Amino acid sequence: MRCAIAAVLVCLASLAGAHDGHHDEWFKSLTSSGGAPCCDGSDALKIEDPHWDVSGQHYRVRLEGKWIEVPPEAVVRRPNIVGVALVWPYVENGELKIRCFLPGSGA
């Protein structure tokens, strides 16, 4: 189990982070609609099309080859000034979960 978690974290870390140094204060101000802060000092992951989608008001993202439903309380309800969709994943009890998700500006 530890190897699987480590593999997920290594793969996630290998993706390009979203912080570009120009929007640090904006990133720090982001919270989910449930009120949880999104940026805890770790980078968000950029999610390019077609690795996220929406059906009605329900989002999902594709991470590590699996579609993961975004909990409604994890959705960030602010304008996306960087354009690309962003996700803040974490691992809990060996399961990949979503802390925050900011849809791309085309959503």
List, for residues 23-82, the tens digit of each pLDDT value: 788 888 899 988 989 876 567 899 988 899 998 889 999 999 999 999 999 999 999 998
CA–CA separation, 5 and 91 (whole Å): 7
Q: Where are the domains of the chain?
A: 2-102
The burial of 32, by beta-carbon neighbours within 10 Å (0-12 exposed, 13-18 middle, 19 or more buried), is given as buried
With 90 as the cut, is the pLDDT of residue 97 above it? yes
The count of other CB atoms within 10 Å of the CB of residue 38 is: 22
Q: Provide the token pair at 105.
A: 């500006």
Q: Output the CA angle 16-18-21, nearest 5 degrees.
A: 115
Determine the pLDDT at residue 105.
81
Position 2 pLDDT exceeds 50: no
Report the pLDDT value the prediction gives residue 51, as an integer from 0 to 100: 93
Say what the pTM is.
Answer: 0.76
